[in-house]
Protein backbone atom coordinates (compact mmCIF):
# COMPACT_ATOMS: atom_id res chain seq x y z
CA UNK A 1 0.00 0.00 0.00
CA UNK A 2 1.34 3.37 -0.92
CA UNK A 3 1.80 6.23 1.46
CA UNK A 4 -0.74 8.53 -0.12
CA UNK A 5 -0.34 11.75 1.80
CA UNK A 6 2.61 13.27 -0.08
CA UNK A 7 3.38 13.13 -3.80
CA UNK A 8 2.01 9.63 -4.24
CA UNK A 9 -1.30 10.74 -5.66
CA UNK A 10 -0.02 13.49 -7.89
CA UNK A 11 0.31 13.47 -11.63
CA UNK A 12 3.31 11.78 -13.24
CA UNK A 13 6.41 13.43 -14.54
CA UNK A 14 5.05 13.71 -18.05
CA UNK A 15 2.21 15.98 -16.99
CA UNK A 16 4.37 18.86 -15.92
CA UNK A 17 2.05 19.26 -12.92
CA UNK A 18 2.42 18.36 -9.29
CA UNK A 19 -1.15 18.89 -8.10
CA UNK A 20 -2.94 16.11 -6.28
CA UNK A 21 -5.14 13.80 -8.30
CA UNK A 22 -7.86 12.93 -5.81
CA UNK A 23 -9.37 10.46 -8.26
CA UNK A 24 -6.58 8.00 -7.44
CA UNK A 25 -7.37 8.27 -3.73
CA UNK A 26 -11.09 7.93 -4.47
CA UNK A 27 -10.51 4.78 -6.54
CA UNK A 28 -8.46 3.37 -3.67
CA UNK A 29 -11.41 4.02 -1.34
CA UNK A 30 -13.74 2.18 -3.73
CA UNK A 31 -11.32 -0.76 -3.69
CA UNK A 32 -11.38 -0.76 0.11
CA UNK A 33 -15.18 -0.62 0.19
CA UNK A 34 -15.38 -3.54 -2.23
CA UNK A 35 -12.88 -5.59 -0.23
CA UNK A 36 -14.84 -4.92 2.96
CA UNK A 37 -18.09 -6.18 1.45
CA UNK A 38 -16.40 -9.36 0.24
CA UNK A 39 -14.49 -9.93 3.48
CA UNK A 40 -17.53 -9.31 5.68
CA UNK A 41 -19.61 -11.71 3.60
CA UNK A 42 -21.55 -13.88 3.42
CA UNK A 43 -19.92 -15.03 0.20
CA UNK A 44 -22.64 -17.59 -0.54
CA UNK A 45 -25.42 -15.00 -0.91
CA UNK A 46 -27.75 -15.70 -3.84
CA UNK A 47 -30.26 -13.78 -5.93
CA UNK A 48 -29.93 -10.30 -7.40
CA UNK A 49 -29.09 -8.78 -4.02
CA UNK A 50 -26.32 -11.28 -3.42
CA UNK A 51 -24.95 -10.74 -6.93
CA UNK A 52 -24.79 -6.98 -6.49
CA UNK A 53 -23.32 -7.24 -3.00
CA UNK A 54 -20.57 -9.60 -4.15
CA UNK A 55 -19.93 -7.82 -7.45
CA UNK A 56 -16.52 -6.61 -6.14
CA UNK A 57 -15.43 -10.22 -5.54
CA UNK A 58 -12.29 -10.83 -7.58
CA UNK A 59 -12.18 -7.20 -8.71
CA UNK A 60 -11.68 -4.98 -5.66
CA UNK A 61 -8.40 -6.59 -4.64
CA UNK A 62 -7.09 -6.32 -8.20
CA UNK A 63 -7.98 -2.62 -8.21
CA UNK A 64 -6.13 -2.27 -4.92
CA UNK A 65 -2.97 -3.84 -6.37
CA UNK A 66 -3.22 -1.78 -9.58
CA UNK A 67 -3.36 1.40 -7.49
CA UNK A 68 -0.41 0.22 -5.41
CA UNK A 69 1.64 0.05 -8.60
CA UNK A 70 0.53 3.55 -9.55
CA UNK A 71 1.42 4.80 -6.08
CA UNK A 72 4.87 3.26 -6.28
CA UNK A 73 5.67 4.99 -9.57
CA UNK A 74 4.50 8.33 -8.22
CA UNK A 75 6.43 7.80 -5.00
CA UNK A 76 9.68 7.12 -6.87
CA UNK A 77 9.26 9.83 -9.49
CA UNK A 78 12.22 11.85 -8.18
CA UNK A 79 14.47 8.80 -8.17
CA UNK A 80 13.80 8.32 -11.88
CA UNK A 81 13.91 11.97 -12.89
CA UNK A 82 17.05 12.96 -11.01
CA UNK A 83 18.84 9.62 -11.44
CA UNK A 84 19.42 9.75 -7.69
CA UNK A 85 21.27 6.89 -5.95
CA UNK A 86 18.98 4.03 -5.07
CA UNK A 87 20.52 3.32 -1.66
CA UNK A 88 18.05 5.52 0.26
CA UNK A 89 15.18 4.06 -1.78
CA UNK A 90 16.18 0.49 -0.91
CA UNK A 91 16.54 1.41 2.75
CA UNK A 92 13.04 2.93 2.80
CA UNK A 93 11.63 -0.03 0.84
CA UNK A 94 13.29 -2.45 3.25
CA UNK A 95 11.53 -0.82 6.17
CA UNK A 96 8.19 -0.78 4.37
CA UNK A 97 8.44 -4.36 3.15
CA UNK A 98 9.47 -5.67 6.56
CA UNK A 99 6.45 -4.02 8.22
CA UNK A 100 4.05 -5.26 5.56
CA UNK A 101 5.42 -8.80 5.65
CA UNK A 102 5.56 -9.22 9.43
CA UNK A 103 2.31 -7.32 9.94
CA UNK A 104 0.51 -9.34 7.27
CA UNK A 105 1.72 -12.66 8.68
CA UNK A 106 0.70 -11.61 12.19
CA UNK A 107 -2.75 -10.42 11.10
CA UNK A 108 -3.35 -13.76 9.36
CA UNK A 109 -3.36 -15.48 12.75
CA UNK A 110 -6.49 -13.62 13.86
CA UNK A 111 -9.92 -15.21 13.53
CA UNK A 112 -11.28 -12.88 10.85
CA UNK A 113 -11.51 -15.62 8.16
CA UNK A 114 -9.89 -13.31 5.58
CA UNK A 115 -6.88 -13.97 3.36
CA UNK A 116 -4.59 -11.05 4.20
CA UNK A 117 -2.96 -9.50 1.14
CA UNK A 118 -0.15 -7.59 2.86
CA UNK A 119 2.55 -10.27 2.55
CA UNK A 120 2.39 -10.28 -1.24
CA UNK A 121 2.53 -6.47 -1.15
CA UNK A 122 5.90 -6.72 0.57
CA UNK A 123 7.41 -8.81 -2.23
CA UNK A 124 5.76 -6.72 -4.92
CA UNK A 125 7.52 -3.65 -3.57
CA UNK A 126 10.85 -5.52 -3.62
CA UNK A 127 10.36 -6.37 -7.29
CA UNK A 128 9.22 -2.82 -7.97
CA UNK A 129 12.46 -1.52 -6.51
CA UNK A 130 14.37 -3.59 -9.05
CA UNK A 131 12.17 -2.18 -11.86
CA UNK A 132 12.13 1.42 -10.66
CA UNK A 133 14.12 2.67 -13.67
CA UNK A 134 12.92 0.12 -16.20
CA UNK A 135 11.46 1.51 -19.41
CA UNK A 136 7.73 1.61 -19.91
CA UNK A 137 7.88 -1.19 -22.46
CA UNK A 138 9.61 -3.42 -19.92
CA UNK A 139 6.83 -2.79 -17.40
CA UNK A 140 4.19 -3.70 -19.98
CA UNK A 141 6.12 -6.86 -20.82
CA UNK A 142 6.28 -7.81 -17.13
CA UNK A 143 2.53 -7.19 -16.83
CA UNK A 144 1.86 -9.37 -19.88
CA UNK A 145 4.08 -12.16 -18.55
CA UNK A 146 2.28 -12.05 -15.22
CA UNK A 147 -1.11 -12.28 -16.90
CA UNK A 148 -0.23 -14.96 -19.47
CA UNK A 149 2.82 -16.91 -18.29
CA UNK A 150 2.08 -16.52 -14.58
CA UNK A 151 -1.07 -18.69 -14.70
CA UNK A 152 0.84 -21.40 -16.58
CA UNK A 153 3.60 -21.40 -13.94
CA UNK A 154 0.93 -21.53 -11.24
CA UNK A 155 -1.04 -24.35 -12.85
CA UNK A 156 1.80 -26.54 -14.15
CA UNK A 157 2.90 -28.13 -10.83
CA UNK A 158 -0.73 -28.85 -9.94
CA UNK A 159 -1.40 -30.58 -13.26
CA UNK A 160 1.84 -32.52 -12.93
CA UNK A 161 1.06 -33.69 -9.38
CA UNK A 162 -2.65 -34.16 -10.01
CA UNK A 163 -3.33 -32.26 -6.78
CA UNK A 164 -4.42 -28.61 -6.46
CA UNK A 165 -2.72 -26.20 -4.07
CA UNK A 166 -4.51 -25.86 -0.76
CA UNK A 167 -4.38 -22.06 -1.02
CA UNK A 168 -3.40 -21.72 2.63
CA UNK A 169 -2.24 -18.17 3.40
CA UNK A 170 1.12 -17.85 5.16
CA UNK A 171 1.09 -16.70 8.76
CA UNK A 172 3.45 -15.80 11.55
CA UNK A 173 5.15 -18.95 12.82
CA UNK A 174 5.59 -20.55 9.40
CA UNK A 175 9.14 -21.24 8.24
CA UNK A 176 10.84 -18.88 5.76
CA UNK A 177 10.63 -21.37 2.91
CA UNK A 178 6.98 -22.05 3.63
CA UNK A 179 6.20 -18.32 3.68
CA UNK A 180 8.12 -17.64 0.47
CA UNK A 181 6.47 -20.57 -1.33
CA UNK A 182 3.00 -19.47 -0.27
CA UNK A 183 3.54 -15.84 -1.24
CA UNK A 184 5.11 -16.62 -4.61
CA UNK A 185 3.06 -19.61 -5.74
CA UNK A 186 0.73 -21.61 -3.51
CA UNK A 187 -1.11 -19.03 -1.42
CA UNK A 188 -4.34 -17.13 -2.15
CA UNK A 189 -2.41 -14.22 -3.77
CA UNK A 190 0.42 -15.84 -5.74
CA UNK A 191 3.02 -13.32 -6.80
CA UNK A 192 3.50 -14.96 -10.21
CA UNK A 193 0.02 -13.81 -11.28
CA UNK A 194 -0.60 -10.74 -9.11
CA UNK A 195 2.49 -9.13 -10.58
CA UNK A 196 0.38 -8.32 -13.65
CA UNK A 197 -1.91 -5.59 -12.25
CA UNK A 198 0.92 -4.16 -10.13
CA UNK A 199 3.29 -3.79 -13.11
CA UNK A 200 0.52 -2.25 -15.20
CA UNK A 201 -0.10 0.17 -12.36
CA UNK A 202 3.58 1.11 -12.37
CA UNK A 203 3.29 1.87 -16.08
CA UNK A 204 0.13 3.95 -15.59
CA UNK A 205 1.77 5.84 -12.73
CA UNK A 206 4.34 7.21 -15.20
CA UNK A 207 1.68 8.55 -17.53
CA UNK A 208 -0.22 11.83 -17.26
CA UNK A 209 -3.37 10.45 -15.64
CA UNK A 210 -5.20 13.76 -16.16
CA UNK A 211 -4.81 13.66 -19.95
CA UNK A 212 -8.22 13.27 -21.70
CA UNK A 213 -6.48 11.64 -24.67
CA UNK A 214 -4.85 9.01 -22.46
CA UNK A 215 -8.14 8.43 -20.67
CA UNK A 216 -10.09 7.91 -23.89
CA UNK A 217 -7.56 5.55 -25.46
CA UNK A 218 -7.13 3.56 -22.27
CA UNK A 219 -10.90 3.34 -21.80
CA UNK A 220 -11.37 1.79 -25.24
CA UNK A 221 -8.74 -0.89 -24.62
CA UNK A 222 -10.00 -1.60 -21.11
CA UNK A 223 -13.62 -1.84 -22.25
CA UNK A 224 -12.76 -4.31 -25.02
CA UNK A 225 -10.77 -6.50 -22.62
CA UNK A 226 -13.25 -6.13 -19.77
CA UNK A 227 -16.10 -7.35 -21.98
CA UNK A 228 -14.13 -9.73 -24.15
CA UNK A 229 -12.56 -11.88 -21.43
CA UNK A 230 -15.86 -12.96 -19.81
CA UNK A 231 -17.30 -13.55 -23.27
CA UNK A 232 -14.43 -15.85 -24.21
CA UNK A 233 -14.86 -17.71 -20.92
CA UNK A 234 -18.61 -18.17 -21.54
CA UNK A 235 -18.03 -19.44 -25.07
CA UNK A 236 -15.36 -21.85 -23.81
CA UNK A 237 -17.71 -23.12 -21.10
CA UNK A 238 -20.44 -23.67 -23.68
CA UNK A 239 -18.00 -25.56 -25.89
CA UNK A 240 -16.88 -27.82 -23.04
CA UNK A 241 -20.41 -28.60 -21.97
CA UNK A 242 -19.32 -29.61 -18.48
CA UNK A 243 -17.29 -28.69 -15.42
CA UNK A 244 -13.50 -28.36 -15.41
CA UNK A 245 -11.29 -30.41 -13.11
CA UNK A 246 -9.15 -28.72 -10.45
CA UNK A 247 -5.94 -29.81 -12.18
CA UNK A 248 -6.84 -29.48 -15.84
CA UNK A 249 -5.23 -27.28 -18.46
CA UNK A 250 -8.78 -26.37 -19.49
CA UNK A 251 -8.77 -24.03 -16.49
CA UNK A 252 -6.80 -21.59 -18.64
CA UNK A 253 -10.06 -20.69 -20.40
CA UNK A 254 -12.04 -20.00 -17.22
CA UNK A 255 -12.49 -16.68 -15.43
CA UNK A 256 -13.56 -17.64 -11.91
CA UNK A 257 -12.73 -14.88 -9.38
CA UNK A 258 -9.33 -15.51 -7.81
CA UNK A 259 -8.87 -18.50 -10.09
CA UNK A 260 -5.47 -17.07 -11.16
CA UNK A 261 -6.28 -17.67 -14.84
CA UNK A 262 -5.53 -15.22 -17.69
CA UNK A 263 -9.14 -14.39 -18.54
CA UNK A 264 -9.84 -13.44 -14.93
CA UNK A 265 -6.60 -11.50 -14.41
CA UNK A 266 -6.92 -9.52 -17.65
CA UNK A 267 -10.66 -8.97 -17.29
CA UNK A 268 -10.49 -7.88 -13.65
CA UNK A 269 -7.54 -5.60 -14.35
CA UNK A 270 -9.42 -4.02 -17.25
CA UNK A 271 -12.44 -3.39 -15.01
CA UNK A 272 -10.12 -1.88 -12.41
CA UNK A 273 -8.70 0.50 -14.99
CA UNK A 274 -12.24 1.52 -15.97
CA UNK A 275 -13.06 2.28 -12.32
CA UNK A 276 -9.98 4.48 -12.09
CA UNK A 277 -10.87 6.20 -15.36
CA UNK A 278 -14.39 6.79 -14.07
CA UNK A 279 -13.00 8.56 -11.01
CA UNK A 280 -10.63 10.60 -13.18
CA UNK A 281 -13.52 11.61 -15.45
CA UNK A 282 -15.63 12.72 -12.49
CA UNK A 283 -12.77 14.85 -11.19
CA UNK A 284 -12.08 16.35 -14.62
CA UNK A 285 -15.69 17.22 -15.41
CA UNK A 286 -17.25 17.88 -12.01
CA UNK A 287 -14.26 18.93 -9.95
CA UNK A 288 -12.56 17.34 -6.97
CA UNK A 289 -15.09 18.43 -4.33
CA UNK A 290 -17.41 15.54 -5.15
CA UNK A 291 -14.62 12.99 -4.69
CA UNK A 292 -13.10 14.48 -1.55
CA UNK A 293 -14.97 12.33 1.03
CA UNK A 294 -13.94 9.17 -0.81
CA UNK A 295 -10.41 10.47 -1.34
CA UNK A 296 -9.89 11.09 2.37
CA UNK A 297 -10.86 7.50 3.10
CA UNK A 298 -8.54 6.29 0.35
CA UNK A 299 -5.64 8.20 1.90
CA UNK A 300 -6.04 6.09 5.05
CA UNK A 301 -6.42 2.81 3.18
CA UNK A 302 -3.88 0.77 5.16
CA UNK A 303 -5.24 1.94 8.51
CA UNK A 304 -8.80 1.10 7.51
CA UNK A 305 -7.78 -2.25 6.03
CA UNK A 306 -6.10 -3.36 9.26
CA UNK A 307 -8.89 -1.95 11.41
CA UNK A 308 -11.58 -3.83 9.52
CA UNK A 309 -9.68 -7.09 10.04
CA UNK A 310 -9.60 -6.46 13.79
CA UNK A 311 -13.32 -5.70 13.80
CA UNK A 312 -14.09 -8.85 11.81
CA UNK A 313 -12.02 -10.96 14.21
CA UNK A 314 -14.24 -9.62 17.01
CA UNK A 315 -17.53 -10.04 15.09
CA UNK A 316 -17.14 -13.58 13.79
CA UNK A 317 -19.13 -15.75 13.17
CA UNK A 318 -21.35 -12.85 12.04
CA UNK A 319 -22.82 -12.20 9.55
CA UNK A 320 -25.20 -15.08 8.99
CA UNK A 321 -27.45 -13.41 6.40
CA UNK A 322 -27.08 -11.04 3.48
CA UNK A 323 -28.93 -8.33 5.37
CA UNK A 324 -26.51 -8.57 8.28
CA UNK A 325 -23.58 -8.43 5.88
CA UNK A 326 -24.90 -5.31 4.15
CA UNK A 327 -25.56 -3.63 7.51
CA UNK A 328 -22.13 -4.43 8.95
CA UNK A 329 -20.32 -3.34 5.78
CA UNK A 330 -22.30 -0.10 5.56
CA UNK A 331 -21.66 0.81 9.19
CA UNK A 332 -17.95 0.03 8.82
CA UNK A 333 -17.57 2.20 5.74
CA UNK A 334 -19.58 5.13 7.12
CA UNK A 335 -17.67 5.16 10.40
CA UNK A 336 -14.38 4.88 8.53
CA UNK A 337 -15.32 7.78 6.22
CA UNK A 338 -16.21 10.00 9.17
CA UNK A 339 -13.08 8.96 11.03
CA UNK A 340 -10.88 9.63 8.00
CA UNK A 341 -12.37 13.09 7.55
CA UNK A 342 -11.80 14.00 11.20
CA UNK A 343 -8.29 12.53 11.23
CA UNK A 344 -7.14 14.36 8.11
CA UNK A 345 -8.16 17.71 9.57
CA UNK A 346 -5.13 17.60 11.82
CA UNK A 347 -2.86 14.89 10.38
CA UNK A 348 -1.21 14.57 6.98
CA UNK A 349 -1.08 10.77 7.15
CA UNK A 350 -2.98 7.96 8.76
CA UNK A 351 -1.33 6.25 11.74
CA UNK A 352 -0.23 3.16 9.82
CA UNK A 353 0.57 5.18 6.71
CA UNK A 354 3.03 7.15 8.82
CA UNK A 355 4.49 3.94 10.22
CA UNK A 356 5.24 2.75 6.68
CA UNK A 357 7.56 5.70 6.19
CA UNK A 358 11.03 4.98 7.51
CA UNK A 359 11.51 6.84 10.83
CA UNK A 360 14.63 8.63 9.57
CA UNK A 361 12.49 10.33 6.87
CA UNK A 362 9.72 11.61 9.14
CA UNK A 363 11.23 15.10 9.39
CA UNK A 364 12.07 15.36 5.69
CA UNK A 365 10.13 15.38 2.46
CA UNK A 366 9.89 11.90 0.91
CA UNK A 367 12.55 11.20 -1.70
Give the model confidence (pLDDT) of 188-207 as tens digits. 999 999 999 999 999 999 99
pLDDT at residue number 243 = 84
pLDDT confidence tier of residue 222, bands split at 50, 70 and 90: very high
d(CA 11, CA 17): 6
The model's pLDDT over 65-89, given as tens digits with 9 standing for 90+, comes to 999 999 999 988 888 776 666 777 8
Report the distance separating Cα 273 and Cα 27, nearest Å.
10
Q: Which residues contact 284 (CB under 8 A, 6 or more apart)?
A: 210, 212, 215
Tell me what pLDDT residue 6 has: 40
Amino acid sequence: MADTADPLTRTGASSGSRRRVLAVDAARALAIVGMVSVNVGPTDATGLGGYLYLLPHGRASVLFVLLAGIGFSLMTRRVREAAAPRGPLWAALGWRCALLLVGGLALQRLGHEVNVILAVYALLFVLAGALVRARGGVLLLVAALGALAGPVLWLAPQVSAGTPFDGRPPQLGDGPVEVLTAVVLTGPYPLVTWLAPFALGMWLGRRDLTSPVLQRRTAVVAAVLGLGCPLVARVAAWGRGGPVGDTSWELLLTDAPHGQMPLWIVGATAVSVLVLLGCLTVERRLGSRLLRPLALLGQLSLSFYVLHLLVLAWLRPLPHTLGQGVLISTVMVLLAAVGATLWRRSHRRGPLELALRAPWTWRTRPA
